[in-house]
């Protein structure tokens, strides 16, 4: 598979930036470090296999490395493991497993998992709609410095956004910003700040998912099976 740009450094989470693919030497270093038990390297290697960065996409291999990192207490690995179970869930049999992993990751301090739960409770994806719980998890993620949560919570509390702000987000998304693409997906999915539009939600979730955004991959999967 064609390589894409990357940070590809041990200890830097690739989940937040869809990198362009590691060089051979960088891949060897990440693999060696993962095999030696480095949980950050294991998380990175799981991400590489989950998204096919410089290798054939292999969800089982991704699950193996995410599990290894999760067993060492890495909250983002726990979260991404839940995403993989959701992606593989064709009949709903893994829905509870994915949710439990996301709750566990959120409680462990994964901001991505906290955003995931906030959106779930806003929408009612796999849980009962609960605005109080949605705000709880948005605020938890904001406290950890998560920009997506801050923007989505602001839109939620303000009951919308200006045309100028929406235009800025759209322009950033069209220029390839993974975060902007994910945010627009959520906004059109929930109807927060914009008129609800599932086709636009799918379009922007897909764009972010193709850049490795785990939450976009999750909610795109949910939309396809809902």
Domain check: are 100 and 164 in the same one? Answer: yes
- Give residue 120's domain range: 74-225
Higher-pLDDT residue of 139, 92: 139
- List CB contacts of 207: < 8 A, sequence separation 6 or more: 173, 181, 185, 216
Higher-pLDDT residue of 202, 90: 202
pLDDT, tens digit, 9 for 90 and up, residues 174-201: 999 999 999 999 999 999 888 999 999 9
Domain check: are 127 and 56 in the same one? Answer: no
pLDDT at 14: 44
pLDDT surpasses 80 at 91: no
Domain check: are 93 and 189 in the same one? Answer: yes
* Residue 218 in tokens: 């999750």
What is the chain's percent helix, strand, coil content, to nearest 5? 70, 0, 30
Terminus-to-terminus CA distance in the chain, angstroms?
30
Q: Where are the alpha helices (DSSP H) in 52-94?
A: 59-70, 75-87
Domain check: are 43 and 99 in the same one? Answer: no
Domain check: are 32 and 135 in the same one? Answer: no
Higher-pLDDT residue of 157, 100: 100
| Nearest C-alpha neighbor of 214 from the set 62, 12, 31 | 62
Domain check: are 137 and 206 in the same one? Answer: yes
> How much of the chain exceeds pLDDT 90, in percent?
68
Domain check: are 121 and 220 in the same one? Answer: yes
Range ranked top by mean pLDDT from 24-28, 67-71, 151-155, 161-165: 67-71
Domain check: are 96 and 40 in the same one? Answer: no
Q: In the listed set 20, 51, 73, which residue is the last one of a domain according to the structure?
A: 73
Domain check: are 2 and 83 in the same one? Answer: no
Total structural domains in the chain? 2
Q: Which residues pair with 8 in a beta bridge?
A: none
pLDDT surpasses 50 at 2: no
Q: In the listed set 52, 73, 94, which residue is the last one of a domain according to the structure?
A: 73
pLDDT at 35: 95
* Residue 35 in tokens: 């095999």
Mean pLDDT in residue range 206-222: 94
Mean pLDDT for the chain?
87
pLDDT at 21: 55
Q: In the listed set 38, 54, 73, which residue is the last one of a domain according to the structure?
A: 73
> How much of the chain exceeds pLDDT 70, in percent?
88
Q: Concatenated DSSP letters for 129-176? A: --HHHHHHHHHHHHHTT-HHHHHHHHHHHHTS--HHHHHHHHHHHHTT
What confidence category does residue 217 fall into, taking pLDDT thresholds of 50, 70 and 90?
Answer: very high
Mean pLDDT in residue range 198-217: 95
What confidence category does residue 7 fall into, taking pLDDT thresholds of 50, 70 and 90?
Answer: very low
Domain check: are 19 and 55 in the same one? Answer: yes
What confidence category does residue 223 fall into, taking pLDDT thresholds of 50, 70 and 90?
Answer: confident
Domain check: are 3 and 48 in the same one? Answer: yes
pLDDT, tens digit, 9 for 90 and up, residues 18-72: 344 566 677 788 999 999 999 999 999 999 999 988 889 999 999 999 999 999 9
Report yes or no: 45 and 51 within 8 Å, Cβ to Cβ.
Answer: no
Domain check: are 57 and 96 in the same one? Answer: no
């Amino acid at each position: 598979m064609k390589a894409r740009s990357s940070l590809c450094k041990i200890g830097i989470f690739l989940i937040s930036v869809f990198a362009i693919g590691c060089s051979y030497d960088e891949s060897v270093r990440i693999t060696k470090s993962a095999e030696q038990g480095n949980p950050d390297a294991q998380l990175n290697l799981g991400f590489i296999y989950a998204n096919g960065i410089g290798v054939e996409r292999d969800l089982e291999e991704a699950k193996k490395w995410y599990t290894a990192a999760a067993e060492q207490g890495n909250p983002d690995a726990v979260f991404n493991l839940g995403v993989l179970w959701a992606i593989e869930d064709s009949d709903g049999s893994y829905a509870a497993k994915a949710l439990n992993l996301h709750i566990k990751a959120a409680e462990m301090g994964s901001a991505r998992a906290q955003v995931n739960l906030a959106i779930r409770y806003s929408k009612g994806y796999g849980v009962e709609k609960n605005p109080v719980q949605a705000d709880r998890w948005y605020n938890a993620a904001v406290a950890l410095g998560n920009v997506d949560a801050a923007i989505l919570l602001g839109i939620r509390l303000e009951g919308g956004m200006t045309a100028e702000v929406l235009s800025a987000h759209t322009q950033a998304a069209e220029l390839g910003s993974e975060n902007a693409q994910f945010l627009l997906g959520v906004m059109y999915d929930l109807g927060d700040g914009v008129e609800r539009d599932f086709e636009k939600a799918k379009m922007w979730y897909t764009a972010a998912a193709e850049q490795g955004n785990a939450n976009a991959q999750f909610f795109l999967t949910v939309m396809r099976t809902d």
